[in-house]
């Protein structure tokens, strides 16, 4: 393990004014996105869509791109490897390495993420293909009372620790992603309680497995109300509770925190990030690692038509710029200036 190289990459991933594009949708997930815009999910259409993003001006606001196994092996229409397009834009290629979730037999309604088998070999291959960081997502369901169970929290934290250690052994920076889902009618206090418990267990496992904290990135959910909660927390409360939770759980050695959007609207994800970065000096960089919150608008604008490529690129560049401003705590001021 080259810790100096890992730390350099991790710091570059949270460069102020930049964030991470999560373009790692599985074939099944991107089919759902394409179905919504009435585009057939063929390999070429998936390639064309992602090439559109990687060639856009919005890439100047992106530090790294999380790719799917298919995408990291694809070439652009002119034969250039997509990885090379990302590198030419000044960004770091990364790769999703988990293999999805499976039900936990003893815990109805809960899952564990799989993919550790042969992961060391796959990481060697991905490094050769250009990946310098990886992502593993643990999915934690939540309700008002009994979920998540201690079992679900532990097994997912343990898997995250094993994954992170394997990544660092392969000189790949691990993005550690424990996502407490927004689904449900729980309030913000319940989200705070569960997320804090999950992060405590995750960092316990990372220490047990000797993961170098200065060579990783954390990708957590924000502390928000459940989607179906009748009382939605205000932006300021989300920011304050999320930062409080981070201060209680995340060691200062971690270079940065790149939030997932988790089903928030585009603007909510931006507003929450901006509010957090306006709370004052923090021991870590706070930025974004968004999928839908960066891509919903460009997908609609593009709609699978080559003639719409410039419109799709403009939509992506706008969303990337808005979140880049939020990563500096400058989004609200920029909106006020534009409105004046």
CA-CA-CA-CA torsion sign (233, 252, 134, 19): positive
Catalytic residue among 18, 96, 135, 219: 219
* C-alpha to C-alpha distance for 1 and 231, rounded to whole angstroms: 47
* C-alpha to C-alpha distance for 158 and 161, rounded to whole angstroms: 5
Pick from 19, 43, 41, 14: nearest CA to 29 = 41
Give the largest Cα separation in the chain, rounded: 58
CA distances from 303 to 38, 289, 296 (A): 7, 23, 11
Is residue 270 packed enough to be buried (19+ CB in 10 Å), middle (13-18) or exposed (0-12)?
Answer: buried
The DSSP bridge partners found for residue 259 are 288
Active site residue 32: no
Active site residue 193: no
- Residue carrying the six token digits 């990563």: 327
Catalytic residue among 177, 179, 201, 205: 177
Contacts of 303 (CB under 8 A, 6+ apart): 37, 38, 39
* Residues across the chain: 340
HSE value, Cβ hemisphere, 13 Å, CA-based, for 76: 14
- Residue carrying the six token digits 């309030």: 187
Q: Catalytic amino acids?
A: 177, 219
């Amino acid at each position: 393990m080259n810790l100096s190289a890992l730390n350099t990459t991790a710091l570059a991933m949270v460069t102020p004014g930049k964030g991470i594009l999560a373009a790692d949708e599985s074939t099944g997930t991107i089919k759902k996105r394409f179905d919504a815009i009435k585009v057939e999910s063929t390999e070429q259409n998936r390639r064309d869509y992602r090439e559109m993003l990687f060639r856009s001006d919005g890439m100047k606001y992106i530090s790294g791109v999380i790719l799917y196994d298919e995408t990291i092996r694809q070439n652009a229409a002119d034969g250039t490897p997509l990885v090379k397009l990302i590198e030419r834009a000044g960004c770091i290629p990364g790769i999703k390495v988990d293999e999805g979730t499976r039900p936990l037999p003893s815990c109805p309604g809960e899952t564990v993420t799989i993919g550790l088998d042969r992961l060391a070999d796959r990481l060697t291959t991905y490094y050769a293909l250009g990946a310098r960081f990886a992502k593993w997502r643990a999915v934690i369901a939540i309700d008002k009372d009994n979920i998540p169970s201690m079992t679900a929290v532990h097994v997912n934290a343990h898997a995250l620790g094993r994954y992170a250690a394997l990544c660092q052994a392969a000189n790949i920076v691990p993005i550690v992603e424990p996502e407490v889902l927004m689904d449900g009618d729980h309030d913000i206090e319940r989200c705070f309680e569960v997320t804090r418990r999950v992060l405590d267990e995750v960092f316990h496992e990372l220490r047990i497995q000797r993961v170098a904290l200065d060579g990783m990135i954390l990708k957590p959910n924000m502390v928000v109300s459940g989607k179906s909660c009748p009382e939605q927390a205000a932006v300021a409360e989300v920011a304050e509770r999320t930062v409080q939770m981070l201060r209680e759980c995340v060691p200062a050695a971690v270079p940065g925190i790149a939030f997932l959007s988790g089903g928030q609207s585009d603007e909510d994800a931006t507003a929450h990030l901006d509010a957090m970065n306006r709370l004052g000096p923090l021991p870590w960089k706070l930025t974004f690692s968004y999928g839908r919150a960066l891509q919903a608008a460009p997908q609609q604008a593009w709609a699978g038509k080559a003639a719409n490529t410039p419109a799709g690129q403009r939509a992506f560049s706008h969303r990337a710029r808005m979140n880049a401003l939020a990563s500096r705590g400058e989004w609200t001021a920029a909106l006020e200036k534009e409105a004046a």
